Amino acid sequence: MAKIQVNDLTFSYESTFDPIFEHVSFTIDTSWKLGFIGRNGKGKTTFLNLLLGKYEYSGSISCDVPCDYFPYKISDGDLDKTADELMERWKPGVESWRVMCEIADLSVDAELLYRPIRTLSFGEKTKVMLAVLFAGENDFLLIDEPTNHLDREAREIVKSYLAKKKGFILVSHDRDLLDACVDHVLVLNRSTIEVQNGNFSSWWENKERADAFARAENEKHMKEIGRLKSSMQQSQRWATKSENTKIGYDPIKEHDRSKNTRGYIGAKTKKMESRVKVFEQRMERSIEEKEGLLNDVEQIRDLRLSPMTHFRDRLVETRDLSLQYKDAERPVFEGLTFEIRNGERVFLQGKNGCGKTSLIKAILRDAGYRNDSAETDDSRAPEDMSFTTEGTLLTAPHLKISYINQDTSHLHGDLRMHAFENGVDYSLFLAVLRQLALEQAQFEKNIEDFSEGQKKKVLIATSLLQPAHLYIWDEPLNYVDVFSRMQLEKLISEYQPTMLIVEHDVRFREKMATKVVELN
């Protein structure tokens, strides 16, 4: 297969002085199953757009094969069209029979191709687009976060499908997906870019060893610099003291001193100053060796949380609960019985559309949820409350909830306004965002101009600064980078907050859940 060669690539957006890429060079093979890893805002999607020729840049990108990008763009005017009508625009020259073959491998019926796009779920749209994407020949495919918003079953199907393919770059923060589907990784480190054979876990194991070695070398150099500095200062004091004895002396105390002593003292001082010079040169060499050692060491900083303990042990209880929307033919779910006690981390699990978010809405409504410190309607629970419940739903009195909505479309204005509207300290808010690796350059922008991952971090930082009895997080990790996911795992393990979470990241759920509630 062909090679993609990147030489001396430099690129920055017109709106910022900081380069996204600066004098970057590497080579990848178009037959690889390449996982693309990096922090939010490091330039993963930007690089895919550079491969597609969407931006001007300096340096060179040599790519002899056509590239195609997932997800395909769907406008409002496309929602009433079918995938069969749109596929020619998405992928010119695509043949329907090839799409049919691919869609069969994705375990869905071909009739999806003939249904209006607006009637398809997230998972169905993803599968249809992947079928069109892989229906071509000799394309190098750029796949940008295909599993966001997908339930567990859909993720497993997409994972199995991609594991059988090759010739793509996969941007994902899902560790389970990367381990199953890639054989090489392209990593945007803090200051460099590397290409490595293997999957996410093998790369992470190598990185942990490399980071540990870099820290050890840095500590060794710091000790050497400290020792050299101490020796240099001591020699400097001796030289200064010796030099001072050249002028004037006490004939009683120094009765054996002759005129020749002055020359001897000068030679001795010169020798000491020469030793100081040697120490300085050795220290400079040690500092040069130290520089850059920690440039790529990933600093996963500790986050803080202020969970509250409710005077009641049982915070939420349902018994034989059913929920039905107005004008719907049947309930979203029924017969649901579970409880949330202090210190539990309950994960809701089930297919898209099974009622996970609806259950959260019902709990928020029963608890009278409102962010009392806010002054806008955005602080209320999700606006679609047109449903009824039957059975028992009880929430503890005076229950204080911190809520993360899966939707980010309500975010607007600058960070200072957001902090004020949500009643969190602005300085602390910025500090938490920095700990989540949000660049300071972002602080001057409006939130609507952030990437989806950066918007999610805004919501997470806000929730972390809100003391609460119960933290309800609805798909908080969509678009959030893997390093921040590790930060949150460490935080939750340390502070043990009471939580109700909807999250499809298998690794995150396996590590964090104390209870899993299945909705059918």
Q: What is the mean pLDDT of residues 336-356?
A: 93
- Quote the pLDDT of residue 291: 59
- Quote the pLDDT of residue 226: 72
Q: What is the mean pLDDT of residues 267-287?
A: 66
Is the pLDDT assigned to residue 418 strictly greater than 70? yes
Higher pLDDT, 230 or 31: 31
- Quote the pLDDT of residue 376: 36
- Quote the pLDDT of residue 341: 97
- Quote the pLDDT of residue 235: 64
Is the pLDDT assigned to residue 367 strictly greater than 60? yes
Q: What is the mean pLDDT of residues 77-90?
A: 94
Give the CA angle between residues 341, 344, 348 to the nearest 5°: 100
Q: What is the mean pLDDT of residues 484-488?
A: 93
Q: Which residue ranges make up each domain of the chain? A: 3-200, 208-290, 314-518
- Quote the pLDDT of residue 70: 95
Percent of the chain having pLDDT more than 70? Answer: 82
Is the pLDDT assigned to residue 273 strictly greater than 70? no
Instruction: Measure the CA–CA gap between 461 and 425, rounded to whole angstroms.
Output: 11
- Quote the pLDDT of residue 114: 94
- Quote the pLDDT of residue 287: 61
Contact assessment for residue 187 and residue 483, using Cβ atoms and an 8 Å cutoff? no
pLDDT category of residue 381 using cuts at 50, 70 and 90: very low
- Quote the pLDDT of residue 190: 77
- Quote the pLDDT of residue 249: 52
Percent of the chain having pLDDT more than 90? Answer: 62
- Quote the pLDDT of residue 512: 96
- Quote the pLDDT of residue 372: 45
Higher pLDDT, 198 or 249: 198
Contact assessment for residue 423 and residue 491, using Cβ atoms and an 8 Å cutoff? no
- Quote the pLDDT of residue 15: 67
Pick 314-518's CATH classification: 3.40.50.1110, 3.40.50.1370, 3.40.50.300, 3.90.1150.10.
Answer: 3.40.50.300
- Quote the pLDDT of residue 377: 35
Q: What is the mean pLDDT of residues 59-78?
A: 93
Q: What are the CA-CA distances from residue 81 to residues 118, 122, 414 (Å)?
A: 8, 16, 37
pLDDT category of residue 106 using cuts at 50, 70 and 90: very high
Residue in 205, 211, 200 with CA at minimum distance from that of residue 172: 200
- Quote the pLDDT of residue 208: 87
73 Ramachandran zone, left/alpha/beta (phi>0; psi -120 to 50): beta
> What mean pLDDT value characterizes the chain?
86
- Quote the pLDDT of residue 1: 63
Other C-beta atoms lying within 10 Å of the C-beta of residue 177: 26
- Quote the pLDDT of residue 375: 37
Pick 3-200's CATH classification: 2.40.30.10, 3.30.200.190, 3.90.226.10, 3.40.50.300.
Answer: 3.40.50.300
Q: Which amino acid is at 201?
A: S
Is the pLDDT assigned to residue 421 strictly greater than 60? yes
- Quote the pLDDT of residue 352: 82
Topology match between the domains 3-200 and 314-518? yes
Q: What is the mean pLDDT of residues 212-237?
A: 73
Q: Which two tokens stand for residue 446?
A: 């409006």
User: Which string of DSSP letters, residue by residue, matches 374-435?
Assistant: --SGGGBSPS---EEEEEEEEE-TT--EEEE-S--TT--S-HHHHHHHTT--HHHHHHHHHH
Contact assessment for residue 170 and residue 35, using Cβ atoms and an 8 Å cutoff? yes
Is the pLDDT assigned to residue 342 strictly greater than 60? yes
- Taking only Cα atoms into account, the Rg of the chain, rounded to an integer number of angstroms, comes to 30
Comparing 79-88, 172-181, 245-254, 463-472, the range with the smallest average pLDDT is 245-254
Q: What is the mean pLDDT of residues 326-354?
A: 92
Is the pLDDT assigned to residue 78 strictly greater than 70? yes
